Structure 1
Amino acid sequence: MKKPSLKLADYLNGCASFLACLKPYMSLTKAAQGLRCRLTLPDGTCLDVQGKDEPHVALNLMHALVNVMPLAPREEQKEKMSVSTREPAMNSQATETIMHSEVKAKQMDEATRKAREQIGVTTKVSLLEEIDAVAKQRGISRAIAARDLLQDGLTRFDRESRTKSTSKLLAEYERKANDFAGAQTKNWSIRAERRLVMKTQLTAGEYERSTSSFVNGLLAEALSHCPVAAALAVKAPVIADASVALALEAIERVKGPKAKQIAAEADLGDNRVLATLILGGSVFAPARVIRKMADYLQVPFDAFSVALERRFTSQSVPAFKATAGKPQVDLQRKSWSVAVKELELSPDEEARLLKLEG
């Protein structure tokens, strides 16, 4: 059979169609050297390329995609190449060898499939304990309970995002996740069906959230509507107003240039602007960052968290007379990933700060 003749234009059209499919997961912004493109892959990996114009950005993006494409093992490549020329087995020993290889390959495929169906997440220990309590009450494992909560949270998000602002919705989910008691966090994983994992990762990337942060909010939202969790709920200890007042006074003492020192103590490097945003309550910072700031100010963690929320809700909203060029006032607290990316830091520093979220 004669092979079809492919021209360069055919390959270019194929690349263009491929990039068009990825367009919903891209963001294109202006940079100092031209244009900057970010692409979030299904596994949560973020590709960041730049170019002096759109054609150069597309070329650099294709180059980056080729570099991250997985290659088949050499044994698999050799097997595929030899399928058409392999002679039929002539004895039982050869047949047994081939069958053993096929079984081993299936076992490897199964292990790979399971590994790809995991979502790594960092949550507060208190949130994980509530999931364990729900699982125990239902008589199921933590894995099943977490998967059910993830599915319920994602379903609720899909339904509510049709009629509500997604930014307000995500801010509410993140607030519920941060409302869980304590500062101690734990890294763990959720095993779920491939379709659920892929949809979760793609949705997180679409709204510029890390998968861990997005899943954290979904779990908190699902738990807030879970009747089993409601029946097991224990009244949270009341935080004294005096403790919150002391925390507010401590925050006032490190405003402005002094915020640079607390930024270094909280693993923010020299990002005084980011520290100021956190102290103003406008950013949902990771628990480990809040804990280190509270330790530096020598105030209780819970009182410090309430103080940050009060600072944001009590911020004054100025009145503008001009019809154009009005400053933008944030009406919701920003997620950690959004706040970090808006600073337009170097890729290494941005990645380091995003990892603080887990």
Structure 2
Amino acid sequence: MRSHYEPALPRASQEPRSASVTSTKGTLQTIGVYVPEAMHETLKALAHGQEKKFSVLVRELIESAYERFEDATEERSGRKVLDDYALKVASYSGEQSQWMARLDRQLSLELKLTAKEYGRSASQLIGGLLAEELSHSLQARAETLSNESCAGVEVERAQAAIAAIIGPQVGKLADYVELPGKRKLVSEVLVGLVQAPGVLLGKIAEYFGVSRGVLTQAVSLNFRNLPAPSYKAPNGRPRMLTEPVSWEEAVRALKLPHDEEAKLLAMGE
């Protein structure tokens, strides 16, 4: 059976609001759900983590999972798909936990018809759908954490590489990014004191063999790690910084010949 679920619109959205209009809660129906306690707790933890009401999260997961189920049955037997879902439910431990899922009327009807078609109870179908969607949600979360961890390692490596060249070796980097003789300016960019234009950050990232995003994070962390970030323009008094100095201010502070200054300012346009 192939159907397309479209949530029913509350009457309040179709007609002018009046005292006689009933609550949108009337558009929802309840279905009893029995799943292992560990699965119930996982769902509650996910709702808490996403700062959603448990009933809202469950409704969203079921709606998404049912669409996923319908897509899966285009290529596989619905019974086999549900068998796989049942295995995921069985992977959770604990006694059966009973609670009520509140669903849109139309979806509730489709779920009951689908359950009957494949010889399942509505509770078994919903439990399987939730287990499948939990599997996808937790996998996506794990991948996100893994990516964040990898990115964190790359940022630390970039910071170490920057720290290793601070000093005389910055001159080589200045030459590489086509800013010969601007060692001080390049150093200020590396420690985060000066907000560099994207084109310059790209060249510096290329020099260190990292992505521009990683370099940007590394430079930002360098600034935040400075004990008392301050900036002193030529012939000026130093001032404490709460954010990096603009590229324009840093360039103008160098008091360069007009054509050279214009060339550097153009990098920031």
Scaled to the shorter chain, the TM-score interval is 0.3 to 0.5
Task: With the length of structure 2 as denominator, give the TM-score of the two structures.
Answer: 0.43
How does the TM-score come out when normalised to structure 1? 0.33
